[in-house]
Structure 1
Amino acid sequence: MSDSPENKPVTPSSPASAPASAPGPGTAATSAVEPPSRWRTTFNEIIGGSVMISILAVVLAIVAGGILIALTDENVQKASVYFFARPGDTFAEIWKSVSGAYVALFQGSVYNFKRPDFLDQIKPLTETLTFATPLIAAGLGVGLAFRVGMFNIGGRGQMLIAAACAGWVGFTLHLPWGLHLVVAILAGVIGGGIWGGIAGLLKARTGAHEVIVTIMLNYVAFYLVSYLLRTPVLQAPGSNNPKSPPIDPTAVLPDLLGPKFNLHLGFILVIAATVFVWWLLNRSALGFKFRAVGINPNAARVAGIDVKNMYVYAMLISGGLVGLAGVFQVLGTVTTGFSSGIDAGIGFDAITVALLGRSKPWGIFIAGILFGAFKAGGFAMQASQGIPIDIVTVVQSLIVLFIAAPPLIRTVFRLPDPSKPKKPKAPKPAPVTREAVAAK
């Protein structure tokens, strides 16, 4: 039986219809729109936050590195010639090349289960921590500058000056054990701090951009140290090579696990530096001013903070931390004398470490260990699999690329954006009948 005209729903365009929001007898009450639950909001913040973006950037870079490894492998290229006849051979060679490369990377950086002795099995991990030690120190310096809104890319120059100062104290002064090491470390940290402070002072007093200044100071430091290595100030006596004398044993960082391992006291010092930077940024009044200036220097100036002095202080501390990396290089890794290449590209790698760690002290610490693993495992991967170590550099570069493009990571993995929460849809209003209109 068909419905009577009185009971048929009225469309909004009908003249007899009433607004859907008008209450009245026979009209279903429109329920209030409920916001998303607290657990849902927290889940979205976790999977779409900066930590997850960093992790997925590393994963995506490793996948891209695997593709490059497969494309450059000779066996894969040979098998791909008859791909349509026997595709299984091509996929088998791809798996063999990629898995072999990353297994070698793991064995060279974390744990080598093929060695018979346990100490030999964990030696790759100690090599990773050794490579990570200067990376973490330099990354802390770069990350601290980032938090104040400054871009310190003068790590190379700050490391060279710090290495020259620490090295000069190490082979010139002959002090008792312990005191000699402390004086050499302080000399390096002060030298790096002064070199970084020059950029902060120029920015504060003249408005010079710290990027340009630090780039120029890199060249100044490189050529200055190169010149001093050809003079009696830093050159080894009786040598024609631009290399310094060996460091006195009293100024060398002692080994943590014995002479069989390269891991030295610098790793303990870098843990202390990480704790110091965390306390400085999160628990001290100076750190609060640093963060305020980094967020909005104009608002910080209105609040009574001397922004110019903050720039100087930040670059002094940043340069000192980066200089600590130079100290580790000359007193821990290279003790037979150093040359102008003592920085080993760490000053620029520190920018990547700081970006991956989101300029947070413990994030930088973990990122430094990851990049130390790349360095230690890259050599093993090249030696055992014949894969160019440049692949590791490509992976590191891709990590920076993906970290710099969070929307790309969110699009690839379909992650929510915590800064743009989805608005819940309002329920549709109940249809208005002629009986409801007549009753009103």
Structure 2
Amino acid sequence: MTEPQPSRAHKVLRQIVTGNAIISVLAVLLAVLVGAVLIAVTDEQVQESAGYFFSRPSDMFLAVWDSVSGAYSSLFQGAVYNFRRPGFENGIRPLMETLTFATPLIVAGLGVALAFRVGMFNIGGRGQMLIAAACAGWVGFTFQLPAGLHLVLAIAAGVIGGAVWGGIAGLLKARTGAHEVIVTIMLNYIGFYLVAYLLRTPGALQAPGQNNPKTPGMESTAVFPKLFGDQYNLHLGFVLVIFATAGVWWLLERSALGFRFRAVGENPEASKIAGMDVNRMYLYAMVLSGALVGLAGVAQVLGTVTTGFGADIDAGIGFDAITVALLGRSKPWGVFFAGILFGGFKAGGFAMQAAEGIPIDIVLVVQSVIVLFIAAPPLVRAVFRLSPPGAGSAGRPETAKVGAL
């Protein structure tokens, strides 16, 4: 007797439950649980109550609840909405900070994700951001131009700088077969020391009349305007990031070039047999990846640090972008929401540290554990007892045959 075929809704539900998206969500959940354990273990009240646990166990459970709930409540109020502040305009300020932090993370994550889809690992985000920041910053503080034109030229200079720096790795990969991981790591060092040198060179990037390795402030005509007034830090760069996300989605999912990218990423040898120029795809991918990561450097210089910047302008975003791309499964909109999540971690982590005295390192541990679980989907499936994708449909024919026998 043949078993009834599952309905379309059942198939969709199974795809959701066993797909990659749910793995990302569950990885975040597991990381939050690990963070809760670390918060409880390092809390002084919990440690003190653990000393007399067998006489009054309720004290320890209460201390654990107070420490964990207080920490994550502060994280939420520092990242989404602060109920303690009077008025909606003040309460929503943490969300604006989250989106501000997320702006460079998202676009840098898009650059890393684009390289992933072509089978390449762009670990050179730091160098690409620094070169882009130097180019955009130099245009931003050197020239006196009309507002709209000045901003466009500064953005273009930064994007081109990042594209060129990423393109070097792509060109070496295409022409010599050099591994992009090694090349981009070396370019990180070159970019850092080159920018550091220019920041100490009068007439280059260093501000006139000072010895500190810092640039002059950006001209007001080259600064991203604030989206909701001066009371919030969120700027026009976030709108550009939304357009960039939509553009990368269209490129990968709807364009002929995106099809070639995905084909090369899946199987470069088969793509070569099909007549695709694989080396050219590697070059194009790294140019576009560097341009997107460069836009993150532009957002830092023209939107966040407009009073001048130093060699630490990248703020670790180039490496955090790898985590964002992994969590977003290299899907443009997945990267978008993963960037917002990590922006919330950054904004809320400082609030958690200030309100509860929780070390900011706990947030870094949570981010690292997310990467660990993202890199090990079978572990997440084992913890939550999820069947692998297609397990249900794969096992049904054998079941039907056994029933028939």
Q: Is TM-score (shorter-chain normalized) higher than 0.5?
A: yes
What CA deviation, in whole Å up to 9, does each residue of 1:106-151 have, x standing for no partner?
A: 0000000111121100000000000000000100000000000000
Change (3 A) 1:51 1:175: same
Residue 150 (str. 1) matches residue 120 (str. 2): yes
Distance 2:236 2:15 in 1: 38
Equivalents in 2 of 1:326, 1:373: separation in Å? 19
SS, match of residue 230 in structure 2: coil
Aligned position for 2:241: 270
Q: Please give the alpha-carbon distance, in whole angstroms, between the structure 1 residues aligned to 2:243 and 2:161.
A: 20
Aligned AA (1:274): T
| Alpha-carbon separation, structure 2, partners of 1:419 and 1:393 | 34
Give the Cα separation in 2 of the matches to 1:365 and 1:102. Answer: 23
Render the CA deviation track for 1:48-96: whole Å, top value 9, x for unaligned. 1000000000001001100000000001000110000000000000000
Aligned residues: 400
Residue in structure 1 matched with residue 324 of structure 2 by the alignment: 353
State the partner residue of 2:30: 60
Q: Which runs of 4+ in 1 moved over 6 A?
A: none
For residue 216 of structure 2, what is the aligned residue in structure 1?
Answer: 245
Give yes or no for contact 1:44–1:416 (8 Å, CA) kept in 2: no
AA partner of residue 173 (structure 2): K
**Mapping 1:22-41, distance limit 5 Å:** 31-32=1-2, 38-41=8-11
Corresponding residue to 1:159 among 129, 133, 141 = 129
Q: Deviations over 1:292-317 (max 9, x none)?
A: 10110111111111101000000000
Deviation for aligned residue 1:416: 1.2
Aligned to 1:9: none
> In the alignment, residue 206 of structure 2 is paired with which amino acid?
Q
Does the Cα contact within 8 Å between 1:44 and 1:417 map onto a contact in 2? no
Q: Is 1:416 matched up with 2:390?
A: no
Selected match of 1:261 from 228, 232, 253? 232
Q: Give a deviation string over 1:216-239, Cα, whole Å, max 9, x none.
A: 000000000000001020000011
Q: CA deviation at 1:32?
A: 4.3
What per-residue deviation string (whole Å, max 9, x for no partner) do you get for residues 202-255 of structure 1? Answer: 000000000000000000000000000010200000110110111111101110
- 1:30-429 equivalences under 5 Å are 31-32=1-2, 38-232=8-202, 233-421=204-392, 422-424=394-396, 425-426=399-400, 427=402
CA distance in 1: counterparts of 2:221 and 2:263, whole angstroms: 43
CA distance, structure 2, for counterparts of residue 96 and residue 147 of structure 1:
44
**1:423 CA drift (Å):** 1.5
- Structure-1 separation of matches of 2:403 and 2:389: 27
Quick one: distance in 1 between partners of 2:159 and 2:2?
A: 61
Aligned counterpart, 1:23: none
Comparing 35-44 and 152-161, the one that deviates more: 35-44
Report the RMSD for the aligned CA atoms in angstroms. 1.2
Unaligned 5+ runs, structure 2: none
1:394, distance to aligned residue in structure 2 (A) = 0.3
Mean alpha-carbon deviation: is it higher for 417-426 or for 91-100? 417-426
> One-letter code of the match for 2:381?
R
Paired letter, 1:378: G
Unaligned runs of 5+ in 1: 1-30, 431-440
Q: Which amino acid aligns with 1:80?
A: A
Identical counterparts, % of pairs: 71
Question: What residue identity is the alignment partner of 1:350?
Answer: A
Equivalent residues of 1:75, 1:93 under 8 A apart: yes
- Which SS does the other structure have where 2:147 is aligned? coil
Does the residue aligned with 2:207 lie in a helix, a strand or coil? Answer: coil
Contact 1:110–1:373 (8 Å) recurs in 2: yes
Structure of greater Rg? 1
Distance 1:36 1:120 in 2: 50
Q: Do the aligned partners of 1:104 and 1:381 also contact (CA within 8 Å) in 2?
A: yes
